Amino acid sequence: MSTIAQNIKACRERVGMTQQELALKIRVGTGTIEKYESGEQHPDTQTVLKISTVLDIPASELLEQDLQTNHVGIDHEIEQLVQEIGTKKAKLILRKAKEFTEEDFLRVMQMLFEIKYKK
């Protein structure tokens, strides 16, 4: 099975969508989704963009080699980031982040950006 085939299936399952639902949303037949996920057929660029939009994932991630999650279901990039900043800091950040509204979170990110780049 190709990387994109595995990634389409993994991302679709991660969001709890069936093959039929994905097919309907990107306007192809269910058989086409089955072929994409089995690696029998590869989607063209426009279809990759449609799939990425529906699954709310950057198209580049659908094409990545290491999109697969680890044995406990944690995204590989998140796992790397936790290792880089340390478990203690990651826990502190995540505990606080879950208390924030989307608007609060965006304000905090803007403040961090200003602290980092507008000295």
Assign 40 a pLDDT band (cuts: 50, 70, 90).
very high
| pLDDT single digits (tens) 69-108 | 444 556 677 778 888 888 888 888 888 888 888 888 888 8
What's the mean per-residue pLDDT of the chain? Answer: 85
Buried b (16+ CB within 10 A) or exposed e, 72-98: eeeeeeeeeebeeeeeeeeeeeeeeee
